[in-house]
Structure 1
Amino acid sequence: MEVLNNNTWTPRSGEKTGNPESLSSLAPAFSSFFKTVCANQAALRPAISTDDAVCRTIPGDASWPNRYDWAALNATVNGRLIATVPIAAPCHNSFTGQGYPNKPLSTYNEDQCAALRNSWYLPETQMASSSAPMSYTQSNNSCNPWLDPDTPCTIGGLAVYAIDAASLTHIQAGLAFARVHNIRIVIRNSGHDYMGKSTGAHSLALWTHNLNSLQLISSYAGPGTTAGTSYTGPAIKIGAGVHGHDAYAFASTHNLVVISGNCPTVGIAGGYSQGGGHGPLASLHGLGADQVLSWEVILAGGTLVTADSTTHPDLYWALRGGGGGTYGVVVSMTVKAHPDSYASTAFITVLDNGTNTDAIYSAIGSFMSTLPSIVDAGIYALFLATPQGFFVTPAFAHGKHQAELDALLQPTVQELEKLGLAYSYASIEFPTFLAAYEALPLLWNVSQHNTGGRLIPRDLLTTNPAGLLSAIRNVGSQTLFSGVAFNVSHSVSSPDENAVNPYFRESIFNVFLGVPIDYFNWTANLATMDHITNELLPPLEALTPNGAAYMNEADPQQSDFKEVFFGAHYPRLLQIKDKYDPHGMFYAVTAVGSDRWAEQSDGRLCRV
């Protein structure tokens, strides 16, 4: 890891940056020439700035930048402009995209296609690209690696170009270019995004993947997480592209821990923390959004600001749980770091043999009745109900010995024995958080599923446990049901301290369900999404009227997203959005203010 010094960022060594093939002959050495040409070109053709545009410009419009404009931008960002070619292009005979308007590319390569198919479901395959969506549905099936090579490969819903940002000036240049040419902007980090925020048709993406610096602040003394208070203690400054595992590892070298998610490749400073962010330490220290002491943000106008509880406190509040991709481009955040300790994990497996399903769901009901005591002890528990059985995988206890964790799970084990269910139970203690985290198994690949979600309030465990169990069985008998249990009610002074939906503080677990993507039948895949919206989620929604969902793990088709994702905070968030982005440069699906825009049938983004 590189250390952030004087706002200078260094990309990960060995990672590739992109000179688009169509621009490679227009080298940065000709930068001045092309800037002059572009100025002359702009004077001769229409231009619509983002300030007064009803619709964003798309390829084919007279105001769409020509190749000289793009070449000048490429020179300005030191050759880091990438013209999108979908990563599945080697599985197709040819590709034609807006970044390559004059010649279709001959792209088929049997060996490359085979290698891609073998690694397609790994997050690393998608996140290494500046354009590939982790959730394939967001590509609109435009370049499917599993179809016949003669099937056209097109750009679909992907960004046309991306800037592989290695400095703040690269982001500022991209924003300035988009403002002048009225181009849709997308902010992309790791691509861990079920909702479609990090991609967009006819857009320019600002790819923050390589802003990956980490800096230890041994004794931070500055504004705290609540106005009028201060925080004194260790902190870590985290670049926008830092992955969760990288942050965990860096903190561990200083005998500290930070808050991040379960998946090691999630971008911690991106939509994860900006959208709330739960993880293995949530029951001890709260959500990712609760940890942030300050943000460095580039606003729509290109200005770099620091937002904390005393400087731009409204922006600071909004970024802590009010959603990513909508207020500005976060380039770093500084977060609290907590003392490390030993940690224990435990796993339960009960397989469904076709005759024991009723007993399994009885055991799940018993397990859920123990969740308050588990999470109140600072433990984070992930459990699954699927057609294959019931799994706790894992219960994660930082600062708890193995025997302490075993005792908390003993009632569930006893219930399994009472019901005569065959099961396996395993627990282990580790010397550090990182050792425990790195020993966790990879359960499933997130990029294989269409998704939906709902937050479950704590009181439902006592007011209607049978109804809750029935709704869980409705999902688990058909597909993947996961519940992530936590207690984050004690980690803030009040539910209004930051922009996280206040319903999170009342919740005991987050439901996250997934139905596999059908790569061979796009119509069936779309029907799967409707099945989640119209059949799997409604029983859970009926149990939680006026309820909520975690915006990062939810149904992209959630019609009442303003209430469900943001709750009572939405009106204030919209005011802050309008203050810092008055012309609506930052659009993201289901983000604050997104209902003012709509995608047309051709992908064009227009005001409504």
Structure 2
Amino acid sequence: MQGNLTSSFHLLASLGTLLPQFAVSADVHCRCFPGDACWPSRERWAAFNKTLGGKLVETIPLAAPCHDSRFGQYNAGECNTLQEAWTLPQTHYDSSSSIMAPFFANQSCDPFTGIQGRCILGTYNRYAVAVGSASDVSKALRFTERNNIRITIRNTGHDYNGKSAGAGSLGIWTHHLKDIQISDHRSRHYTGKAMKMGAGVQGFEAYAAAHQHGLVVLGGECPTVGLAGGYAQGGGHSTLGSKYGLAADQVLEWEVVDARGRHLTASRAKNSDLFWALSGGGGGTFGVVLSMTVKAHADMPTSGGNLSFTSDGISQDTFWKAIEAYHVSLPAIVDEGIMSVSAFSTSSFAISPMTGPGVSAERMNELLQPLTSTLDRLGIKYTKLVKQFPNYFEEFNTMFAPIQVGIAQYGGRLVPRSAVLNNNSAVTHAYRKIANDGGAFFIVGINVSTSVAGDVYNSINPAWRDTLLDTVVTTPWNFTAPWSQMVANANKMTDKFIPILKDISPGSGTYINEADFQDPDFKQDYYGVNYDRLLQIKQKYDPNHTFYALTAVGSDYWEARPDGRLCKSRRNA
């Protein structure tokens, strides 16, 4: 539901804008906003598009067919199709504007709010540049600088924390940067196979390309996530994490355009400060990444395992004793190089799946034996499957089910190994308290210590290195519930759930990409001791704070007003 400017220009010109047709004076401390006298005319946007060779995309909300609006009339057939597919990532990731996390769409144009529900541009970017080169990015930066327009950086829209959304913004859309190259890399710190991937390359594309060469690269459990964006820039846990470390630990080189429009290469040998910041310091704030070169490892036989049980026929005390036993078993499991994903609430528990690169099915069964023995002793009926696969690619494609989007709100905490080893009952009590209050859990059992990651140089939150349980707590999203209820859920995450998790993990932190976006202590929780150095690097490469993303390094330079207008915070005005 968007098109190249040359094809959509006349359509939207006839529809008119969604703001009053009169100019208002701009606040000199704010980014220029649609409706302001400073906002570029349609002729200036068209001229800009010409300099780009027709790569400017004008936003039409994806769910416009579900409403009678200035974008067109309601279309029942199209709307039904959209509603049925709205929680599938592929519905959104080819869009230059759609937002997978509904909280940050703010019902700007929601397919479930009815024909007369508002369909406005709201928090979506106004335009996007479908970049194909560094030159396109530099032109976009010059245009926004001259016109004082907000920028957002976007790839697929996989974004739980609102970093790629922005009212009145120009999106720099990297989704079409799909080049992949396999090479032999030799440097002081790494000699071996490497993969260079464009910023638009998604997990499934990288995995398939690596597999063709007998290799593996690290990526997310959701295969449609873009790897070089916020995923790797924010750290990036992976099913291969206990074998090789985090995604940011694999990076050898970044290709980036900074706020001045300079096309730079960042590695441990060149622009090393920028390399350090991009490798774990969070996306959307240091520059526009065009490509990433990462270590590519030799593929290997890989085991996969599932185990699940419910609370049917047992007491809650017994149910939680079983979950506690699972956590007790994890240190030995992750130290074998296995990553284990679990999900649970008050009624069910599932390991789905365990991934053991280079680990036999027999060994995986041995590592599960302490847990299954406890389940037997507790009288809990469970199902278990452990299977050997000839390579990682087949294990991943077989064992992972499709992951929906837009079904939950997220918050999280990195729970260290010491919390489980020394006070596992407190960990269980905290999880149980949250679950009894409506929360559900998605937990990555992992070991990404320096003994696993090896010789790395990056800005990963040091709390990761001691983590055993990357804990994500969720509250359900309901598209038809009152908006106030969803806001209340977000506040419950901030005010109740996250403090409970902090109590069991003092001094630890949070995974940037699965964090509570309202965390008042985000500088410490997201970045740890690295924040001040990251801010210095931000100011070096982006002295005018061209790039803004919610909770990103330097984000408190700006503040978003209720209408979405981005303005300098009071201390910077």
Deviation at 1:24, TM superposition (A): 5.2
Counterpart in the other structure of 2:17: none
Q: Give, as a single letter, the amino acid of the residue that structure 2 aligns with 1:214.
A: I
Change (3 A) 1:16 1:427: farther
Which residue in the other structure is 1:454 paired with?
A: 413
SS in structure 1 of the partner of residue 4 of structure 2: coil
Q: What residue in structure 2 maps to residue 515 of structure 1?
A: 475
**Residue 601 of structure 1 is aligned with which of 535, 538, 562?**
562
| 2-structure distance, mates of 1:105, 1:156 | 13
Matching of residue 502 in structure 1 with residue 502 in structure 2: no
Matches within 5 A, 1:157-176: 157-176=123-142
SS of equivalent residue, structure 2 residue 531: helix
- Which residue pairs with 1:225 in the alignment? none
Aligned residue among 289, 297, 305 for 2:264: 305
In structure 2, do the counterparts of structure 1 residues 594 and 354 end up closer, same or farther at CA, with 3 Å as the change threshold? Answer: farther
Displacement of 1:152 after TM fit? 1.9
- Give 1:88's match in structure 2, choosing from 58, 63, 88: 63
What SS does the corresponding residue of 1:283 show, helix, strand or coil? helix
| Aligned pair partner of 2:144 in 165, 171, 178 | 178
Residue 475 of structure 1, CA deviation: 2.8
- Check if 1:474 corresponds to 2:440: no
Change (3 A) 1:16 1:440: farther
CA distance in 2, matches of 1:333, 1:182: 29
2:15 is matched with none
Q: 1:136-194 CA deviation, whole Å, 9 max, x = no partner? A: 11011111111120122111111111111223222221111111101000000111110
TM-score (norm 1): 0.89
Match of 1:242 in 2: 201
**Residue equivalent to 2:332:** 373
In the TM superposition, residue 47 of structure 1 has moved relative to its aligned partner by 12
- The one of 487, 503, 526 equivalent to 1:542 is 503
**1:185-220 CA distance string (max 9 Å, x none):** 000011111000011111000110110110010x21
Q: Does 1:324 align with 2:283?
A: yes
- Paired residues of 1:216 and 1:236 also in contact (CA < 8 A): yes
1:16–1:325 distance in 2 versus 1, CA, 3 Å = same
Q: Which moved more, 1:352-361 or 1:137-146?
A: 352-361
CA contact (8 A) 1:533 1:558 kept: yes
Deviation at 1:20, TM superposition (A): 5.6
Shift of 1:54: 2.4
Counterpart for residue 537 of structure 2: 576
Query: After alignment, is 80-89 or 557-566 more displaced?
Result: 80-89
Aligned to 1:18: 4
Q: Paired residue for 1:132, among 87, 94, 98?
A: 98
> Deviation at 1:483?
1.0
> How far does residue 492 in structure 1 lie from its aligned partner after superposition?
4.2
Q: 2:410·2:514 contact (CA, 8 Å) conserved in 1?
A: yes
Distance apart, 1:315 and its partner CA: 0.1
| Alignment partner of 1:141 out of 107, 120, 123 | 107
**Alpha carbons 1:18, 1:81 under 8 Å: kept:** yes
Q: Is the 8 A contact 1:248 1:257 kept in 2?
A: yes
Give the letter for the 1:516 counterpart.
Answer: P
Alignment of 1:216 onto 2:216: no
RMSD: 2.0
Unpaired runs of 5+ residues, structure 1, are 1-14, 27-44, 95-103, 223-228
Moved more, 339-348 or 158-167: 158-167
Of 338, 343, 360, 1:384 maps to 343
The amino acid that maps onto 2:57 is: I
Question: Which amino acid in 2 is paired with 1:75?
Answer: K
Matched with 1:111 is 77
* 2:235 paired with 1:270: no
The Cα offsets for residues 40-79 of structure 1, whole Å up to 9 and x where unpaired, read as xxxxx9999xxx9621100121111111110011112222
CA distance in 2, matches of 1:485, 1:439: 20
In the alignment of these two chains, the number of paired residues is 556
Distance 1:366 1:23 in 2: 60
| Match of residue 166 from structure 2 | 200
AA in 2 matched with 1:198: S
In structure 2, give the amino acid aligned to 1:188.
R
Shift of 1:474: 2.0
Are 2:46 and 1:71 equivalent residues in the alignment?
yes
Aligned amino acid, residue 155 of structure 2: N
Structure 2: how far apart are the matches of 1:134 and 1:88?
Answer: 12
SS where residue 318 of structure 2 aligns? helix
Shift of 1:390: 1.1
Could you tell me how far apart the structure 2 residues matched to 1:487 and 1:522 are?
Answer: 39
How far apart are the structure 2 equivalents of 1:202 and 1:232? 45
Decide whether aligned partners of structure 1 residues 386 and 177 sit closer, same or farther in structure 2, where only a CA change above 3 A counts. same
Deviation at 1:566, TM superposition (A): 0.2
2:74 is matched by which residue type in structure 1? Y
Q: CA deviation at 1:383?
A: 1.1
SS across alignment from 1:589: coil
Q: Post-superposition shift, 1:231?
A: 1.8
One of 187, 205, 212 as aligned partner of 2:153: 187
| Letter of the 1:602 counterpart | D
* Offset, 1:106: 1.7
* Structure 1 match to 2:523: 562
Following superposition, the deviation at residue 518 of structure 1 comes to: 2.0
State the shift of 1:494 in Å: 7.2
